[in-house]
Amino acid sequence: MTRVLFLLITFLVLREPLAAQSEAVSNVDLSAGAQNKLQEQPDEKEMERVVFNDRNKLPDSPKPKIQHTDENSVCPRGEGSPCALLGGWLYFKDHMHLDEHQDTWWDAFTTEGMLESSGALLVSTALDIEGTQYCLKHKSCEELNPLMKLMKTKGEKYAVAMPLDVLAIWAVVRDKQRGHGARGFMILWCTAGVHTYFGLGGLAQGPPLPQQPSPRGTQVR
């Protein structure tokens, strides 16, 4: 019994110092662990250096390899292939840029499609006037254009026809500047085709070419 009381008194006396020492040791361990964690975390300047200064050293992300496609087009399968946007019709790229917008009238006029169609209209108009005058001179045809019937000379016809062509070209190119060049392109080429038809027809309706005399000693049947 005496031994039990002695152990109980000893435990009560030594409990407070042991508890205080244990708490102090745990606080030291926790503070050391917190300091280690703070030291492991990079500071703001280090993060800025990694993100902004060293980003060029990072490898580029892999890019997918796409074959036989045009991702910049509304029809990714490319030219000559069916396009869903066109209702299944074959897609062909506009190499003459007829549907593109231009900032100025001159930029629209200097595109390939407008230069070709405008030149064809002016040349075919001159061919029409020359062919018609040729057959009228030999009285093998008559003028069908009521406006040109009022013009007696070839110069008067040029003075009327060429300004009309220039006005038509101006209107078509103006429409092309707004991105509607296909319509005017077809109008100019169709008009040029009509002028060419009548011009060649007038040249063909002229008098026949004189026959060359046959060499002496030969018989012409």
Of 96, 68, 97, which Cα lies nearest the Cα of 80? 68
8 Å CB contact between 131 and 201: yes
Q: Which amino acid is at 152?
A: K
Q: What is the pTM of this model?
A: 0.55
pLDDT tens string, the chain, 221 residues long: the values are: 565 555 556 655 555 555 555 555 455 444 555 555 545 555 666 766 666 666 666 666 666 555 545 555 667 666 667 777 777 777 666 667 787 888 899 998 998 889 999 999 999 999 999 999 998 888 888 888 888 888 888 899 999 999 999 999 999 999 988 888 888 899 999 999 999 999 998 888 866 655 666 555 454 44
Q: Which amino acid is at 123?
A: V
Beta bridge partners of 90: 82
What is the C-alpha to C-alpha distance for residues 74 and 146, in angstroms, rounded to an integer? 48
Query: What number of CA atoms fall less than 13 Å from residue 56's CA on the CB side?
Result: 1
Structure tokens at 216: 């002496």
- 76 three-state secondary structure: coil
